[in-house]
Amino acid sequence: MKYTYLLASLLFMASGGTESTTMETTAEQETTPQVVEENTITDKLLGTWEFEDTSLNITQVITYQEDGTYQMKMGSMDINGTWKLTDDVLITKSRPDSDGQKKTIIKLTQDSLCTFWEPKGGNARNMNYLRSK
């Protein structure tokens, strides 16, 4: 009989301990924020994009690489340089001593990039790029 009480007591404590641990784990999970990794703007920007300028009848193809460099083909021109992203402003430089071209990113998804470009001495405009497949 003594063993029956001992066995019942052990089973009761074991089940109570498990329940307590489960509740503690659940409470701990509820208070710990879940970290969901999302692609950053930089991650989404990397790759090759195409912009078709219908007014000039020319296509611009630009590739942003992870090392901060870019290659652009526009008509017969091949341009290489560096790029930097500060907040939502994308700055591309074809020469280290230049101020660079500044485009404000308005919208960026996996497949489209919409920028607002204000060239020096030119007309500001939206440029809508599509990811090149």
Convert the pLDDT of each residue in 76-124 to its tens digit.
999 999 999 998 999 999 999 998 999 999 999 999 999 999 988 888 9
Task: Please tell me the predicted confidence (pLDDT) of residue 23.
Answer: 46
C-alpha to C-alpha distance for 29 and 74, rounded to whole angstroms? 53
Q: Which amino acid is at 9?
A: S
14 contacts 21 by C-beta, under 8 angstroms: no
Q: What is the pTM of this model?
A: 0.68
| Least confident window among 52-56, 66-70, 126-130 | 52-56
Name the fold adopted by 41-131.
Lipocalin (2.40.128)
C-alpha to C-alpha distance for 91 and 105, rounded to whole angstroms? 10
CA angle at 69 for the pair 118 and 65, rounded to the nearest 5°: 105
Length of the chain: 133
Per the DSSP assignment, residues forming a β-bridge with 125 are 117
With bands split at pLDDT 50, 70 and 90, how would you rate the model's confidence at 18? very low
For residue 45, what are its two tokens?
A: 């920007």
Mean pLDDT, residues 16-23: 46
Mean pLDDT, residues 38-62: 90
Mean pLDDT, residues 41-45: 91
Rounded to 5 degrees, φ, ψ at 9 are -65, -45
